Each structure stands twice: as structure tokens, then as C-alpha cells.
């Protein structure tokens, strides 16, 4: 799950970031190919980027948008975290569609005459400019998602009252970081309150069986739930995990008092 750039981003985000920058540079290189009248090479270069980007969009960005952004709009659009990603996704859709259209006109004979433009340069220039705007908005998204700390809140430390205690009445703390719950498995006597404290990133805490469910928690935020009934309660982060213990998930085991 964890990325490799050391920013606390997901693996997918880091991978996407590198590939997107490489593709942006490839488009610029393709522009120079056209200037040197190497139109065949230009065609293959730009077309490959358009097609590879379709893969990145459907494998990484659409699922991420669907999970993390869609449920929060329009209500949370005042938050840069969602706003920048939404503008990025909207313009990104336009850029990709326009790119595919230009590709169809310039590199194939599929489209009928009335749907074809004649002057390539203005269309291709506009597309290249739009594409780079979308990359910059993507970098902005990456920044707000993984680098900026919301509201500058320092991660809250558990106070003395939230240390794990021997009696059922003392609350127990689970720390949330990118991208795990610590401890992942926790056993407590019935009647204990568990407090999840988020130290990095945005996450949720949701029981597989729906018995408890937090809103999106930001760094510095917390969520608590009192476990009255004995049983096993698997839970997960809705943004980075799934039911059944997949990826970012944990288990609370409640024993009879």
C-alpha cells in the first residue's frame, strides 16, 4: 500500500505521479518531433501517451475518485482536498477525450469528413497546454492529499486517560497512520471504549457488519466507539481497505467481562 517516494502517499499515487510526469515530458518531446517534421514518430509518440493514459485513468484515477471524492461532493467542495481533485478530474476528462479525438482525426481515417478539423496546429497546441494544466492540477491533488496537513493541526497524542488500562472502564487507543491501524488486532473486555486517533492522512473506521462507522477523519482527529457486546469485530478504512481484512483493516475482539 505504501508508496516509494517517501511522502506518505499510496503506491498507486507514487506510480501514477512518475508515469504522468514521464508522459507529460513525452508529449513535449513529441512536439519537437513534429517541429522537426518527423510526423510518423510524432504520431506514435503522442498516440501512445493517449492510450497509456486511458489505462492509468481507469486503473488508478477513476477508482480513487469514485472512492474518495465522489461521496463528498458537493458538500465538501469548500475543502481544497476535494476541490482541486474535482477540477483536476473534470479537466482531465476533457483533456483525455480531446486527445483521443485529435488522435482519431490525425492518425486514422475513421471519422467522417464533417467531424474532422483541417488545421492541426491550434488543436494540438491547445491540447498540449490543457494537458499540462491537468498535470499541474494532479500535482496539486497529490500535494493536498499526501503532503499538506489539514488546517495545520499537529497530530494529537493520546492523553493519560486514553492509555490502555487493565479495567474495562479505561478507554483503549488505536493509532491511525498511512495506511494502517496500530495495533491491527486488539482484544478488550466488554464495556471498553476504543478511541481511534488519526496521525497521518484521511481515513475512516467502519465495521464490516456496519455496527459502527466514522465520517472521514483527518490528521489530528479521532473517532470513538464503546464495545458493549462480546464478539469479533473486523473493521476497515473505506478509503484504503475493504471488508474482510483487505489492506487497511483491523479487528477488535471483545471478551465477556
Residues that bind Cu ion (CB under 5 A): 203, 237, 239-240, 248
Instruction: Check binding of 238 to ligand HEM (CB under 6 A).
Output: no
d(CA 65, CA 181): 23
Choose among ligand HEM, Cu ion, none what residue 203 binds, the Cβ cut-off being 5 to 8 Å by kind.
Cu ion
**Binding piece for ligand HEM, criterion CB under 6 A, among 92-100, 118-126, 182-190, 226-234:** 92-100
**CB closer to Cu ion, 146 vs 233:** 146
- Taking the C-alpha atoms of residue 126 and residue 130, their distance in angstroms, rounded to an integer, is 6
Instruction: Pick one of Cu ion, ligand HEM, none as the site partner of residue 240 (Cβ within 5 to 8 A by kind).
Output: Cu ion
Given candidates 85, 102, 188, 239, which one binds ligand HEM under the rule CB under 6 A? 85
98 binds ligand HEM (CB under 6 A): no
162 binds ligand HEM (CB under 6 A): no
Q: Name the residue nearer to ligand HEM (CB basis): 65 or 225.
A: 65
Helix (H, G, I), strand (E, B) or coil at 71: helix
Residue 138, contacted partner among ligand HEM, Cu ion, none, CB below 5-8 A by kind? ligand HEM
Contact 158, 176 (CB under 8 A): no
Q: Which is nearer to ligand HEM, 192 or 198 (CB)?
A: 198
Residue 13 interacts with, from Cu ion, ligand HEM, none (CB under 5-8 Å by kind): ligand HEM
Which one of Cu ion, ligand HEM, none is in contact with 227 (Cβ closer than 5 to 8 A by kind)?
A: none
Closest contact distance (angstroms) between CB of 153 and ligand HEM is 21
- State the cell numbers at 235: 473493521
Torsion sign (Cα): 99, 105, 111, 113: positive
Q: Binding of ligand HEM at residue 92 (CB under 6 A)?
A: yes
DSSP assignments along 76-135, one per residue: TTTSHHHHHHHHHHHHHHHHHHHHHHHHHHHH-S-S-GGG--S-HHHHHHHHHHHHHHHH
Q: Which stretch binds ligand HEM (CB under 6 A): 134-142, 218-226, 234-242, 249-257?
A: 134-142
How far, in Å, are 83, 189, 255 from residue 230 at the CA level?
42, 8, 5
Residue 146 CB neighbours (<10 A): 20
Binding of ligand HEM by 17 (CB under 6 A): yes
Site for ligand HEM in 201-220 (CB under 6 A): none
The C-alpha cell at 217 is 477523519
Q: Is 163 left (phi over 0), alpha (psi -120 to 50) or beta?
A: beta
142 interface partner picked from ligand HEM, Cu ion, none, CB below 5 to 8 A per type? ligand HEM
Query: Which secondary-structure segment (H or E) carries 239?
Result: strand 231-242
Amino acid at each position: 500500500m505504501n508508496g516509494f517516494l517517501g511522502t506518505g502517499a499510496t503506491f498507486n499515487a507514487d506510480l501514477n505521479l512518475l508515469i504522468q510526469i514521464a508522459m507529460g515530458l513525452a508529449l513535449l518531446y513529441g512536439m519537437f518531433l513534429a517541429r522537426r517534421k518527423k510526423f510518423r514518430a510524432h504520431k506514435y509518440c503522442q498516440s501512445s501517451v493517449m492510450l497509456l493514459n486511458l489505462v492509468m485513468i481507469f486503473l488508478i484515477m477513476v477508482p480513487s475518485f469514485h472512492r474518495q471524492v465522489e461521496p463528498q461532493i458537493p458538500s465538501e467542495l469548500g475543502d481544497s482536498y476535494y476541490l482541486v481533485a474535482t477540477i483536476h478530474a473534470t479537466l482531465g476528462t476533457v483533456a483525455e477525450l480531446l486527445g483521443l479525438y485529435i488522435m482519431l482525426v490525425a492518425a486514422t481515417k475513421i471519422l467522417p469528413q464533417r467531424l474532422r478539423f483541417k488545421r492541426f496546429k491550434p488543436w494540438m497546441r491547445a491540447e498540449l497546454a490543457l494537458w499540462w494544466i491537468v498535470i499541474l492540477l494532479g500535482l496539486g491533488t497529490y500535494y493536498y492529499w499526501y503532503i499538506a496537513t489539514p488546517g495545520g493541526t499537529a497530530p494529537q497524542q493520546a492523553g493519560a486517560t486514553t492509555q490502555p488500562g487493565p479495567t474495562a472502564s479505561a478507554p483503549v487507543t488505536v493509532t491511525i497512520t498511512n495506511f494502517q491501524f496500530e495495533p491491527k488486532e486488539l482484544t478488550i473486555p466488554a464495556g471498553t471504549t476504543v478511541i481511534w486517533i488519526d496521525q497521518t492522512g484521511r481515513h475512516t473506521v467502519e465495521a464490516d457488519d456496519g455496527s459502527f462507522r466514522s465520517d472521514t477523519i483527518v490528521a489530528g482527529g479521532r473517532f470513538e466507539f464503546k464495545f458493549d457486546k462480546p464478539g469479533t469485530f473486523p473493521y476497515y478504512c473505506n478509503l484504503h481497505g475493504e471488508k474482510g481484512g483487505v489492506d487497511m483493516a483491523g479487528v477488535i475482539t471483545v471478551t465477556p467481562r
